[in-house]
């Protein structure tokens, strides 16, 4: 996917394009390095305001990278020729934007939906200082298909906004703690089973937050995984863990690296495709 922001010195042209009576924003990024072909992606992007400021949604924008000397009419002709693919991209971008907006407006009340290791849980709030008066902060448990948050009774008097912030923080802390334990256990499993192929063991394993990636293997072999992965199914998590473990031996994405990934996880391509197409559902922008 091409970057949607121009690099220093790259010229841009912001306009609109009509494809089958649908008007779309179009940002062309002209590159001296690109010789013949164009590439594109479709995003709902906050950086480019729609003309209709009363709309709840920004218009989707087609970001195009094109050779510096290519005339816009030629670019437009190419885009019209591949309109089927563009409309498919528009549909995916629309679904992504909808989920992102719903996530940003997520409520923390009884019945709200959460995910953990590929399963769905209903949020259940329980005010309970009589049960355990020593609890001064919200406590979180997974039990009987519910994500239960035990709240000190004094929180009843808080505004909905402040109470929701405290519940959100408690759930995130719970997810991070669980992710740390789970990621470490799966890393230990694969690192032990395939130690002779990996060329070493990780120095450390930690759950962290990344805005736009699933994991990282440093040159010191510290493994870091995006805690939002704890929401995904275990096979998907395992692929990311195997991917980063293979970077202990290969600090690149060479053919040898991918061969090693495939040796450990023969179905990695399906899982990689799933993350690429639907990973944003987990909260990755």
pLDDT tens figures, 270-284:
999 888 877 767 765
Flag the least confident range among 95-104, 113-122, 193-202, 262-271.
Answer: 95-104
Cα separation of 282 and 179, whole Å?
14
Taking only the tens place, the pLDDT of each residue in 43-97 is: 775 444 444 433 444 567 888 989 988 989 999 899 999 888 888 888 877 776 6
Q: Determine the Cα–Cα distance for residues 7 and 4; give it in Å rounded to an integer.
A: 9
Q: Which residues 6+ apart lie within 8 Å of 86 measured at CB?
A: 19, 40, 42, 62, 79
Answer for the pair 116, 231: CB distance below 8 angstroms, yes or no: yes
pLDDT band per the 50, 70, 90 thresholds, residue 14: confident
Weakest-pLDDT range from 30-34, 224-228, 243-247: 30-34
DSSP, residue by residue, 164-178: HHHHHHHHHHHHHHH
What is the reported pLDDT for 37?
83
The more confident residue out of 47 and 257 is: 257
Report yes or no: 72 and 253 within 8 Å, Cβ to Cβ.
no
How far apart are alpha carbons 237 and 142 in whole angstroms? Answer: 19
Residue with more model confidence, 52 or 204? 204
Average pLDDT, the chain: 85
Q: Please give the CATH architecture assigned to the domain spanning 178-282.
A: 2-Layer Sandwich (3.30)
Q: Is the pLDDT confidence value at 110 over 60? A: yes
Whether residue 187 is predicted with pLDDT greater than 50 in this model: the reply is: yes
More confident residue, 250 or 95: 250
Q: CATH 3.30.2010.10 occupies which residues in the chain?
A: 178-282
């Amino acid at each position: 996917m091409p970057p949607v922001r121009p690099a220093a010195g790259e010229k841009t042209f912001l306009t609109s394009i009509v494809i089958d009576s649908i008007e779309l924003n179009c940002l062309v990024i002209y590159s001296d390095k690109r010789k013949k072909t164009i590439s594109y992606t479709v995003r709902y992007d906050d950086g480019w305001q729609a003309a209709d400021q009363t709309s709840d949604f920004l218009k989707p924008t087609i970001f195009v990278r094109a050779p510096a000397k290519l005339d816009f009419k030629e670019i437009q002709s190419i885009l019209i020729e591949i309109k089927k693919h563009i409309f498919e991209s528009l549909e995916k971008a629309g679904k992504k934007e909808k989920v992102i907006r719903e996530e940003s407006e997520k409520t923390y009340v009884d019945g709200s939906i959460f995910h953990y290791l590929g399963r769905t849980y209903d949020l259940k709030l329980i005010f309970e200082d009589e049960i355990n008066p020593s609890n001064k902060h919200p406590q979180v448990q997974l039990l009987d298909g519910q994500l239960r948050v035990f709240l000190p009774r004094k929180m009843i008097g808080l505004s909905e906004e402040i109470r929701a912030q405290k519940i959100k923080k408690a759930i995130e802390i719970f997810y991070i703690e669980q992710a740390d334990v789970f990621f470490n256990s799966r890393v230990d499993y694969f690192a032990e089973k395939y130690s002779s192929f990996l060329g070493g063991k990780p120095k450390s394993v930690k759950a962290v937050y990344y805005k736009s990636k699933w994991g990282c293997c440093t040159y010191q072999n510290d493994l870091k995984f995006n805690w939002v992965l704890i929401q995904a199914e275990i096979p998907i998590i395992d692929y990311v863990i195997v991917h980063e473990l293979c970077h202990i031996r290969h600090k690149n994405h060479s053919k040898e690296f991918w061969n090693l990934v495939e040796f450990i996880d023969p179905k990695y391509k399906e899982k990689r495709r799933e993350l690429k197409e639907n990973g944003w559902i987990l909260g990755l922008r």
